[in-house]
Each structure stands twice: as structure tokens, then as C-alpha cells.
Amino acid sequence: MQAVDTMNAENIISKKTKLFGLIGEKAGTNNLFAMINRLIKANSVDAMIIPMNIREDDFYFTVANMKKSHVDGAYIEEEFQSAVLDLLDYKDEIVEVYNRCDFVIKEGEKLRGFLLEKNDVSSKEELAQMIYEEIIKD
């Protein structure tokens, strides 16, 4: 079997690796990032999602600077899902209806917000699969 040339095979982030964050005050304790990374690795996708423990007073700075960073997007934990609205350049219609956003994608130097959990996701495993399928997978 040929070795897969991805970040997850070598545990190295390259310039081609899609990099995502999981932003929350206690992001490191949320095992959602590990579930998503297992899906990424199992499917040999050159991507990674990393937990980003962010305090409330650092949230605006962190998300606003995503526009010029190497991060391609981020899952936003519940405590920041309303606060992120002011930082979005584009919002899908569901974000407008529910007035919250749980995933941000960088498009050039603009941020687009989505609400993935609109369908009453029943488990973290289901949410991890949804994030992988709808956002991360090529």
C-alpha cells in the first residue's frame, strides 16, 4: 500500500493543508475536533481542525484576523455564535433567520457564515460527519 501524502499521514501541516479551527472558551475539552480529524485521516484528506481556546475579550481579534490568516474556516462554539455575526461579510439565509452562526469559511479576505446545526443534530458524531461532508471534504 502506497503512503498517503497528506498532513494526517505525516502529521505535518503543509502550505496545501486545509486548516480549520474550533473556537470556544474551552475548545480543547470539546472532542468534536478529534472526531472530525479521525474522519479526515480515515479518508486521506489533507486537512486538520485544531481547538482554539479563546477568551471572550480575544474573540473579535481572533476571528477578524482570520481574513488574513492561513486558517480556511472555523467551527464556532455556542458561546460565540451570536457575537460572530458582526464579523461576517456574508451570511446565508439560515444565519439571518436564526441570528446565529456555527461555521465560518474564509473566501479570499471575506468571511461567510453558515448554520450547520439548523437541523437539530442529535449527536456530536452526527455534527462531525456533517462538518466533514459539507465543509472539509474535497
Cell of 28: 480543547
In a domain, 1, yes or no: no
Task: Give residue-wise pLDDT tens across range 75-122.
Answer: 999 999 999 999 999 999 999 999 999 999 999 999 999 998 776 777
The total number of structural domains in the chain stands at 1
CA distances from 105 to 1, 51, 125 (A): 34, 16, 21
In a domain, 45, yes or no: yes
In a domain, 85, yes or no: yes
Quick one: pLDDT band at residue 5, thresholds 50, 70, 90? very low
In a domain, 123, yes or no: yes
- Parent domain of 131: 7-136
The reported pLDDT for the residue numbered 57 is 94
In a domain, 56, yes or no: yes
Residue 40 amino acid letter: I
Q: Are 115 and 104 in contact (CB under 8 A)?
A: no
Domain of 76, CATH number, reads 3.40.50.10860
Task: Give residue-wise pLDDT tens across range 84-93.
Answer: 999 999 999 9
The reported pLDDT for the residue numbered 122 is 73
Going by C-beta distance under 8 Å and a sequence separation of 6 or more, which residues neighbour residue 11? none
